Amino acid sequence: IIQTPMHGKDEGTQNFLKALSPTGQIGSDQDIVDAVLYLTDSNFTTGTVLAVDGGMATGTW
C-alpha cells in the first residue's frame, strides 16, 4: 500500500492499512521513486521484477 490522497488521513483508516503490511507501515511515493532510480542507475540489473511492497510478496506476517 502506497500512501495517496485517496486513502485520506483518518487515523482508523491509516491503522487498518498499516495492519495489512508485514512491516506495519504504509509506503510513500519516495519508496517508488527510490526503486525506479535504482533500476535506472543499475547497469547490470536486467530482466527482473522488483517488488516494492513492504514485504507483502513474502506472504508472512
Q: What is the pLDDT of residues 29-51, one digit of tens each?
A: 999 999 999 999 999 988 888 88
Q: By percentage, how much of the chain surpasses pLDDT 90? A: 57
Q: Residue 53: CB partners within 8 Å, gap ≥ 6?
A: 27
Say whether pLDDT at 10 is over 70.
Answer: yes
pLDDT at 33: 96
pTM of the model: 0.78
| Distance of alpha carbon 49 from alpha carbon 25, whole angstroms | 22
| Distance of alpha carbon 19 from alpha carbon 17, whole angstroms | 5
